[in-house]
Amino acid sequence: MSRSLFILLAFVSGISGIGQENNRKPGLIAKGAQVTKAGSGYQFTEGPAVAPDGRVFFTDQPNDKIEVWNENGTITTFMQPCERSNGLYFNRKGELVACADLHNRLVAISMDKQQRTLAENYNGQALNAPNDLWIAPNGGIYFTDPYYHRNYWEPGRKEVQDTRGVYYLTPEGKLTRLIDDYKQPNGLIGTPDGKTLYVSDINDGKIWRYDIQPDGTLANKTFFAPEGSDGMSIDNQGNVYLTNKFVSVFDKKGKKIAAIEVPEQPSNVCFGGKKRDILFITARTSVYTLKMKVRGVN
């Protein structure tokens, strides 16, 4: 273990002790657990999503493939090519919903690899390139649509939408733009009760919190954290996990309670395993795991 990793984990452990002493917050990380490399040799890993059985699907976008991590430590390829999939999330049907930016669309992929398009334009124009998503309990899909130019696009492709927005796709298939005032929206995550949405404006270095209304729209924009984030997750205590230089953890009141160092800069994070107690981190050329005391809820 590196000295800096030891210090950061000690910091987290210290937070754990304070919380237990005051009967407020149990520890985050399992006793003796360390960040462990689970796989490597990729170009850029992203978009981890936990399946109902605890496996984690993640993307290696430059290599145009979706990989699958199993709790027993094995990693296999699920799909290649995969339309340059980025963010992933499982829906209630057991389909893997992907932000597939080869053709700037949102798609659903069945476990037998049949694919259907969910959204590909707004107001008659192509989306910029969907990046990350979260699916609410009612089946509605929130996704970010920033613009990162890709070298695999055909020559001459440009940004089409007039803003880099955040969208909501209703269970009935109606697409609405909900956020249009960000520099560059990226990661997002919602609470399991479907009442709160956290969204990252990565280029502005801020996380915002919204109340989700019964019709899926957002209200009461509130500043949450002074850090941008590529990907996000949430645990059963309501703590929000961000990925930037570290895996930063903020409690539900917006107080930073941990900074977990990873050997490579993390890009995204989710909770995997049958008990949802393994923090799964995508980080550039590798993926990492960390056994936790808390559990994921998404």
Among the ranges given (19-23, 200-204, 242-246), the one the predictor scored with the smallest mean pLDDT: 19-23
Split at pLDDT 50, 70, 90, the class of 239 is very high
Judge whether residue 243 has pLDDT over 90: yes
Q: Token pair for residue 8?
A: 């950061």
**Per-residue pLDDT at 44:** 97
For all residues of the chain together, what is the average pLDDT?
A: 92
Give the pTM: 0.91
| Residue 25 within a domain | yes
Q: Where are the alpha helices (DSSP H) in the chain?
A: 3-21
Number of domains in the chain: 1
**Per-residue pLDDT at 226:** 98
Judge whether residue 188 has pLDDT over 70: yes
Q: Distance between CA atoms of 289 and 276, rounded to whole angstroms?
A: 12
**Per-residue pLDDT at 14:** 39
**Per-residue pLDDT at 256:** 97
| Residue 84 within a domain | yes
Q: What is the mean pLDDT of residues 116-130?
A: 96
Conformational region of residue 13, where left means phi above 0, alpha means psi within -120 to 50, and beta covers everything else = alpha
Q: How many CA atoms lie within 13 A of 41 on its CB side?
A: 6
Q: Distance between CA atoms of 42 and 40, rounded to whole angstroms?
A: 6
**Per-residue pLDDT at 6:** 38
The pairing of strands 105-109 and 96-100 is antiparallel
| Residue 231 within a domain | yes
Judge whether residue 2 has pLDDT over 50: no
| Residue 287 within a domain | yes
| Residue 57 within a domain | yes
In this structure, what CATH number is given to the domain that contains residue 168? Answer: 2.120.10.30
Task: Provide DSSP, 250-298.
Answer: E-TTS-EEEEE--SS---EEEEESTTS-EEEEEETTEEEEEEBSS-B--
**Per-residue pLDDT at 298:** 81
Judge whether residue 132 has pLDDT over 50: yes
**Radius of gyration, alpha carbons of the chain:** 18
Q: Is the N-terminal amide bond of 81 cis, ω within 30° of 0?
A: yes
| Residue 203 within a domain | yes
| Residue 298 within a domain | no
**Per-residue pLDDT at 50:** 98
**Cα angle, residue 85 at apex, residues 118 and 246 outer, rounded to 5°:** 120
| Residue 296 within a domain | no
Which structural domain range is residue 232 located in? 3-291
Q: What is the pLDDT of residues 58-106, one digit of tens each?
A: 999 999 999 999 999 999 999 999 999 999 999 999 999 999 999 999 9
Q: What is the mean pLDDT of residues 281-293?
A: 98
Q: What is the mean pLDDT of residues 236-254?
A: 97
Q: Distance between CA atoms of 227 and 191, rounded to whole angstroms?
A: 19
- SS3 category, 15: helix
Split at pLDDT 50, 70, 90, the class of 9 is very low
Split at pLDDT 50, 70, 90, the class of 13 is very low
Q: Distance between CA atoms of 209 and 225, rounded to whole angstroms?
A: 9
Q: Distance between CA atoms of 188 and 141, rounded to whole angstroms?
A: 11
Judge whether residue 23 has pLDDT over 50: no
